[in-house]
């Protein structure tokens, strides 16, 4: 490892640095030897300049299985906006998820208040096959879309993999969403059926889930039971899990083209309707690659990331674990309390993923102190901007293990900027672009700067090439400046700052989307909901970073229909109730500011940037 990679006198002070012996044990060290480079910086440059060669090595390293090999790994005949990957191949990505020994653990899981359980690779494959057989017997055909609206459980993992194995596609919907938002995603994904659970059990309370799906006017539903006694009203034509599940546990995966869709996920843009983003058979390769090289995942590791199949980190966790022959760790309950911490301890978790606001809760309540997290080799953080003090606290819970910051998106299939355990770790900063791609930081005139809007340099496996309900070119490429070397650039919308020593710091969004609790949502969606509060004539939603950094705070600017009749304090609980009922209970309003008018452009567009600057 070149000493230039580890110059501790440049940039923000590191809180952790790797030793030479540790570096030699990493997956990155193996890749450096293959690429014949002597420093990580040189490795990244090589991966960005030789993308076809890089991804060929990745596919071989991960042992991705094909029914028919590709005749061309990368075809750029239609340009970098529409690359062809693995041209001519036939595959089913689920074949690559069961290469670990049959009796090794595929999932270690625990339900709140329950005991720790293990599902072996053989058991998961058997249940996956029974789901795929049930779909085939139920008349579903390759290419059909089926929605999943469930908590992240061992059964939901088998459902997800079974749908893919049958050649169908998953429509991913978070279980926290209300009927209106569920209905929108069912429509956009063209779901022909829905898998859900009867209720969600949290803190001893039963929250409706099947009822929400029915209220969304869902197509036929297959309902799995929670670990609880429930008395629900069944809709005619819907089926219980036990009735759907086939007794046949053998199923030959349906081979498809690499570019065929496997998952429809959703991410808010600047309009009120979420972007419907398809993942293809190649996207999981990006998930597994990021985990393999950036989170340094090895066979036998145990990965936990509190998430849901409705968000990209749910599918990411499945592929990042199983393709790397590692174990998925699942806790079916709230991760904010000590029981989750004990699960991390007992499951001997080696990589724990977090959302920064969750760490802030742990730090304020001190609920994770006094536990044995010595098995953890690294943390990883995504979804929001991190606070350095919170990340230092997180590191201390496992004897000063590094935090791999990880920032990307659903339309990337993983990260575009992240970290590596072969470089020093400084809290709340990134230390590398993701391997296999690159980016530039530009000002509003398209000139390179150290603090500005980030643009991705395509192509890469994982980058989306279409949207189901919007013009992909208009969203990501139209009007973007050229790169310093004349490159075609892809818009992403994040503001990034380059620091000394090869570090970077994220400063949130530059457009009208925001990350709240790790969930991307548009200002338009928030504003549409809070305007339903009776006295509101107009409203604007913005997200701002706290003075010390960390997760964004939601601020609502409100114009009253009758000035002087209400204060921000009066309106906040009413708006919060509207968000909880209509959009998502996880969105928390920090402050409501009553104003006489909103700043607008000549074309009447709200200037949210002016509000953020205030």
**Per-residue model confidence as pLDDT tens digits over 468-491:** 999 999 999 999 999 999 999 999
Mean pLDDT for the stretch of residues 312-334: 97
What pairing do the DSSP bridges indicate for beta strands 519-522 and 490-498? Answer: unpaired
Name the most confidently modeled range: 186-200, 550-564, 573-587.
186-200
Cα 149 off chain centre by: 16
The per-residue pLDDT for 10 is 64
Taking residues 544-555, report their average pLDDT: 80
Asked whether the predicted pLDDT for residue 399 surpasses 50, the reply is yes
Sheet containing strand 117-120, strands side by side:
117-120, 105-111, 327-332, 302-304, 351-354, 378-381, 403-405
Q: Would you state the structure tokens that stand for residue 270, as one six-digit string?
A: 């600047």
For residue 557, give both structure tokens: 């600017």
Cβ contact 140:168 at 8 Å: yes
Q: Which of 227-241, 344-358, 415-429, 553-567 has the lowest mean pLDDT?
A: 227-241
Q: State the sign of the Cα–Cα–Cα–Cα dihedral 275, 281, 282, 287.
A: positive
Q: What is the pTM assigned to this prediction? A: 0.88
Q: For residue 3, is pLDDT > 50?
A: no
pLDDT tens-place string over residues 175-188: 989 999 999 999 99
Output the DSSP codes for 20-37: HHHHHTSHHHHHHHHHT-
Pairing of β 414-418 and β 432-433: antiparallel
Percentage of the chain modeled with pLDDT above 90: 77
342-351, 402-411, 512-521, 600-609: least confident range = 600-609
- pLDDT of amino acid 150: 96
Predicted confidence at residue 204, as pLDDT, reads 76
When the pLDDT of each residue in the chain is averaged and rounded to a whole number, the result is 92
Listed in sequence order, the residues at least 6 apart from 242 whose beta carbon sits closer than 8 Å to its beta carbon are none
CB 521 within 8 A of CB 528: no
Whether residue 605 is predicted with pLDDT greater than 80 in this model: the reply is no
Alpha-carbon distances, residue 44 vs 49, 270, 338 (angstroms) = 9, 32, 39
Asked if residues 412 and 462 have their Cβ atoms less than 8 Å apart, the reply is yes
Instruction: Give the span between the Cα atoms of 143 and 161, in whole angstroms.
Output: 14
3-class DSSP assignment, residue 120:
strand
Place of tokens 């309902």: 223
Query: Which pLDDT does position 271 carry in this prediction?
Result: 54
Residue 601: its pLDDT value, please?
63
Quick one: pLDDT band at residue 542, thresholds 50, 70, 90? confident
Residue corresponding to tokens 């380059």? 498
In this structure, are strands 451-457 and 438-442 parallel, antiparallel, or unpaired? antiparallel
Q: Which is more confidently placed, 515 or 213?
A: 213
Would you say residue 6 has pLDDT above 70? no
In the chain, what percentage of residues exceed pLDDT 70? 96
Q: What is the pLDDT of residues 85-144, one digit of tens each?
A: 999 999 999 999 999 999 999 999 999 989 999 999 999 999 999 999 999 999 999 999
pLDDT recorded at residue 227: 66
Res. 20 pLDDT band, cuts 50 70 90: very high
* Mean pLDDT confidence for 386-415: 96
137 Cβ contact list (under 8 Å, min separation 6):
246
Question: Tens digits of per-residue pLDDT, 136-171?
Answer: 999 999 999 999 999 999 999 999 999 999 999 999
| Per-residue confidence band for 585, with pLDDT thresholds at 50, 70 and 90 | confident
Beta strand pairing call for 193-197 and 221-224: parallel
pLDDT surpasses 60 at 5 = no
pLDDT of residue 7 exceeding 50, the answer is no
Hey, what are 35's tokens?
A: 């690429």
Q: Provide the pLDDT for residue 230.
A: 63
- pLDDT digit string (tens) for 432-447? 999 999 999 999 899 9
Please name the residue ranges forming H helices in 88-223: 121-137, 154-165, 179-189, 210-215
CA atoms within 13 A on the CB side of 114: 17
The CA distance from 135 to 140, in Å, is 5
* 256, two tokens: 């498809």
Strands 327-332 and 169-172: unpaired
Comparing 600 with 45, the larger pLDDT belongs to 45
Residue-range domains of the chain with CATH: 3-98+283-508 (3.40.50.12780), 512-613 (3.30.300.30)
Residue 270, pLDDT > 60, answer: no
Per-residue pLDDT tens over the stretch 370-383: 999 999 999 999 98
Encoding tokens for residue 565?
């009749």
The answer to whether residues 423 and 435 touch, using CB atoms and an 8 Å cutoff, is no
In tens, the pLDDT along 226-235 reads 865 567 788 9
Angle at 136 between CA 131 and CA 137, to 5 degrees: 95
The whole-angstrom distance between residue 498's C-alpha and the CA centroid of its chain comes to: 24
């Amino acid at each position: 490892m070149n000493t230039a990679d580890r110059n501790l006198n440049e940039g923000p002070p590191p809180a952790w640095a790797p030793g030479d012996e540790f570096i030699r044990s990493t997956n990155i060290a193996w890749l450096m030897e293959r690429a014949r480079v002597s420093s990580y910086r040189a490795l990244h440059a090589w991966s960005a300049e030789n993308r076809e060669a890089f991804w060929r090595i990745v596919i071989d390293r991960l042992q991705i299985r094909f029914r028919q090999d590709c005749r061309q790994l990368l075809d750029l005949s239609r340009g970098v906006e529409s690359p062809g990957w693995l041209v001519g191949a036939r595959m089913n990505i689920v074949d690559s998820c069961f290469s670990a020994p049959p009796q090794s653990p595929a999932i270690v899981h625990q339900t709140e208040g329950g005991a720790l359980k293990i599902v072996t690779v053989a058991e998961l494959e058997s249940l996956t096959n029974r789901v795929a057989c049930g779909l085939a017997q139920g008349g579903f055909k390759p290419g059909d879309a089926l929605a999943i609206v469930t908590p992240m459980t061992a059964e939901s993992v088998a459902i997800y993999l079974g749908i893919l194995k049958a050649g169908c596609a998953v429509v991913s919907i978070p279980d926290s969403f209300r009927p209106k938002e569920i209905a929108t995603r069912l429509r956009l994904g063209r779901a022909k059926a829905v898998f859900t659970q009867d209720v969600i059990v949290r803190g001893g309370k039963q929250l409706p889930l099947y009822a929400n799906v029915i209220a969304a006017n869902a197509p036929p539903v297959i309902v799995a039971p929670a670990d609880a006694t429930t008395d629900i009203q069944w809709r005619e034509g819907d089926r219980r899990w036990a009735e759907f599940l086939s007794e046949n546990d053998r199923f030959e995966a349906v081979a498809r083209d690499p570019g065929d869709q496997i998952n429809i996920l959703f991410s808010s843009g600047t309009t009120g309707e979420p972007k419907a983003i398809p993942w293809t058979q190649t996207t999981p390769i990006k998930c597994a690659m990021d985990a393999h090289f950036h989170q340094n995942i090895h066979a036998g590791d145990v990965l936990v990331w509190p998430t849901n199949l409705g968000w990209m980190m749910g599918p990411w966790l499945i592929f990042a674990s199983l393709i790397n022959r590692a174990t998925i760790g699942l806790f079916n309950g709230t991760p904010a309390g000590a029981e989750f911490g004990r699960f991390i301890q007992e499951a001997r978790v080696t990589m724990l993923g977090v959302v920064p606001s969750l760490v802030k809760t742990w730090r304020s309540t001190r609920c994770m102190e006094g536990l044995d997290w010595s098995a953890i080799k690294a943390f990883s953080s995504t979804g929001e901007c991190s606070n350095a003090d919170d990340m230092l606290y997180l590191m201390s819970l496992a004897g000063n293990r590094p935090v791999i910051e990880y920032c990307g998106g659903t339309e990337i299939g993983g990260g575009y900027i992240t970290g590596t355990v072969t470089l020093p770790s400084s809290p709340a900063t990134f230390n590398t672009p993701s391997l296999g791609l690159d980016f530039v930081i530009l000002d509003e005139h398209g000139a390179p700067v150290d603090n500005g809007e980030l643009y991705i340099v395509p192509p890469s496996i994982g980058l989306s090439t279409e949207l189901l309900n919007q013009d992909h070119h208009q969203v990501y490429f139209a009007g973007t400046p050229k790169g310093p070397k004349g490159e075609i650039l892809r818009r992403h919308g994040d503001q990034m700052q380059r620091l000394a020593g090869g570090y970077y710091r994220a400063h949130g969004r530059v457009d009208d989307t925001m990350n709240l609790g790790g969930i991307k949502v548009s200002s338009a969606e928030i504003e549409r909901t809070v305007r339903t509060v009776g006295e509101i004539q107009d409203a604007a939603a913005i997200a701002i970073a706290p003075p010390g950094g960390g997760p964004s705070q939601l601020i609502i600017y409100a114009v009253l229909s009758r000035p002087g009749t209400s204060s921000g304090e009066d309106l906040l609980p009413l708006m919060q109730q509207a968000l909880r009922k209509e959009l998502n209970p996880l969105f928390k309003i920090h402050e409501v500011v009553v104003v006489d008018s909103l700043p607008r452009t000549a074309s009447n567009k709200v200037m949210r940037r002016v509000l953020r600057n205030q």
